[in-house]
């Protein structure tokens, strides 16, 4: 695989002090990434809707220093020094130092905040890592003004992936594919690519309401979960199925077959959790209210001939997905019938968005 294209070169300019700020969103996978090999290479292709309202805003102040042997940075989260987040970011810098050697020449002060409530169970690694990657690419553009916007997005996704796999899908939108797939032009294991075909209008501005069923810390981190796919009895079939689902979903997104979309997306969510139920050690991330909500969604869909459906990430929260044309009635249904299953009745209304925004 050609990773050498991402080693920065021609960094001719000297910058003494500069600050960049980026806002990057979270994303919700339709075909799930679950299982990886080193270094952050997915076992199957995944695709996600980029979100809009759930995002991280990060600014990095870069100040030139003499060349360090370790990357020198400080981290503030929501205005407070956050030393417990540092090891994860230090590990990320280790993974990317070969591609961005200039990070040894700057002292970095990183300030970050999320738009969604802290410990809401919404994974912040995708938005968090992609925001740092965009700030680094802004510095790289200053050092080498010849790099193109296309390269910036590609390399930002490549870097973000090394921090957290799903972060590679948070640079662009509204639909991003990560992982090499024969039917997705330009797709790669190394970075996310914007879905390259025209999307049927029914999937435009697609809505995602996130029901905060359980805001607690996850008992099992994604990293541990991914690792449990090694030697998992169903792993090979799962990876094959995910790649086949991607082929199907690519067609569905183009031809607008929404009933097939619902079937595939819900099946992906339940299969992800089935992998957790059947790993060793096994674990359950759904809560009783996750199942209550799923049953209510199925009942509402049946009774109202609605196109509402759900997906799950690695947690108990439910993402309720629906077309923009059904927004009014479904938001009412959520408020009146689903909010009660959420902690403190809390949920977040979101929709598909376009990715990273400079601030």
Query: Of the candidates 157, 222, 245, 279, which one interacts with ligand DP6 according to CB under 6 A?
Result: 222
CA distances from 192 to 30, 158, 179, 332, 346 (A): 14, 7, 7, 35, 31
How many whole angstroms separate alpha carbon 243 and alpha carbon 237? 10
How many whole angstroms separate alpha carbon 148 and alpha carbon 320? 37
Cβ atoms of 23 and 173 closer than 8 Å? no
* 352 lines the binding site for ligand DP6 (CB under 6 A): no
CB of 53 to ligand DP6, least distance (A): 18
* 165 lines the binding site for ligand DP6 (CB under 6 A): yes
* 26 lines the binding site for ligand DP6 (CB under 6 A): no
* 265 lines the binding site for ligand DP6 (CB under 6 A): no
Cβ atoms of 261 and 206 closer than 8 Å? no
User: What mask, x for binding ligand DP6 by CB under 6 A, covers residues 103 to 142?
Assistant: --------------------x-x-----------------
* 23 lines the binding site for ligand DP6 (CB under 6 A): no
CB closer to ligand DP6 out of 123 and 143: 123
Provide the phi-psi class of 35: left if phi over 0, else alpha when psi is between -120 and 50, else beta. left
H/E segment holding residue 245: helix 235-255
User: What mask, x for binding ligand DP6 by CB under 6 A, covers residues 170 to 199?
Assistant: ------------------------------
Three-state secondary structure call for residue 144: coil
User: What mask, x for binding ligand DP6 by CB under 6 A, covers residues 41 to 80?
Assistant: -----x----------------------------------
Cβ atoms of 326 and 258 closer than 8 Å? no
CB of 178 to ligand DP6, least distance (A): 8
């Amino acid at each position: 695989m050609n990773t050498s294209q991402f080693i920065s070169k021609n960094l001719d300019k000297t910058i003494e002090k500069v600050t960049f700020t980026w806002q990057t969103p979270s994303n919700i996978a339709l075909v799930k990434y679950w299982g990886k090999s080193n270094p952050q290479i997915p076992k199957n292709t995944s695709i996600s809707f980029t979100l809009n309202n759930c995002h991280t805003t990060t600014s990095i102040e870069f100040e030139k220093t003499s060349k360090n042997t370790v990357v020198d940075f400080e981290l503030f989260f929501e205005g407070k020094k956050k030393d417990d987040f540092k090891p994860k970011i230090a590990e990320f810098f280790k993974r990317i130092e070969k591609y961005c050697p200039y990070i040894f020449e700057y002292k970095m002060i990183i300030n970050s905040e999320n738009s969604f409530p802290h410990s809401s169970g919404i994974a912040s690694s995708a938005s968090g890592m992609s925001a740092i990657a965009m700030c680094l690419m802004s510095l790289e553009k200053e050092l080498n003004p010849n790099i193109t916007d296309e390269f910036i997005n590609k390399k930002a996704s490549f870097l973000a992936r090394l921090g957290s796999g799903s972060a590679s899908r948070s640079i662009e939108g509204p639909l991003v594919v990560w992982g090499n797939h024969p039917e997705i032009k330009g797709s790669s294991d190394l970075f996310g690519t914007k879905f390259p075909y025209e999307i049927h209008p029914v999937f435009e501005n697609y809505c995602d309401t996130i029901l905060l069923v359980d805001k607690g810390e996850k008992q099992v981190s994604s990293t541990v979960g991914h690792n449990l796919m090694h030697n998992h009895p169903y792993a090979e079939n799962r990876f094959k199925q995910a790649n086949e689902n991607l082929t199907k979903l690519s067609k569905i997104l183009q031809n607008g077959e929404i009933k097939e979309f619902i079937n595939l997306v819900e099946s992906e969510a339940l299969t992800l959790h089935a992998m957790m139920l059947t790993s060793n050690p096994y674990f359950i991330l759904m809560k009783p209210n996750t199942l209550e909500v799923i049953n209510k969604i199925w009942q509402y869909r049946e009774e109202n001939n609605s196109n509402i459906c759900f997906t799950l990430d690695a947690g108990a929260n439910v993402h309720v997905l629906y077309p923009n044309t059904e927004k009014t009635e479904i938001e009412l249904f959520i408020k009146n019938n689903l909010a009660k299953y959420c902690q403190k009745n809390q949920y977040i209304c979101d929709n598909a968005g376009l990715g990273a925004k400079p601030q």
